[in-house]
Amino acid sequence: HTNTHTHTSLSFFLLTGPYEFIRRAVSPVGPDGNPQRTLPASVAAGGLTGICYWLSCYPIDVIKNRIQAAPDISPPLYRGMVDAARAIYAEGGVARFFKGFTPCLLRAFPANAACFVTFEIMMRVLP
């Protein structure tokens, strides 16, 4: 489905680049002058990356979810993402695109910190 593909592509782009940037910014510098991969840096970078990600794409996720949750009828309830966005806006303006945003942000830091710490551990363990 195009909406899911758009969301997933954006997700990978908005998670991997910022993670490396933030991790390097918060990592202590080693004797060789390069940032060290430490657990605290991975936790901080992973958590902040999750927050940055949701800040950048939550409205798109709301639109995607709305389309996916629409009844399977003909003609479809929404003609596409723009049509769904207009319907959401008509229900409550810009604020409607951020309903449920607070719990999402509260979950984002620990969930993404755990994800990226696991990533760093696996990069060390796997050949």
Helix (H, G, I), strand (E, B) or coil at 35: strand
pLDDT, position 8: 63
Q: What are phi and psi of 76, to 5 degrees?
A: -60, 155
Of the candidates 3, 4, 22, 2, the residue with the CA atom closest to the CA atom of residue 112: 22
Average pLDDT for consecutive 10-residue bins of the chain (127 residues)? 60 79 91 89 95 90 93 92 96 96 95 94 89
Q: What is the pLDDT of residues 31-50, one digit of tens each?
A: 998 888 899 999 999 999 99
pLDDT, position 3: 56
Structural element, H or E, at residue 16: helix 2-26
Q: What are phi and psi of 59, to 5 degrees?
A: -60, -40
pLDDT, position 82: 95
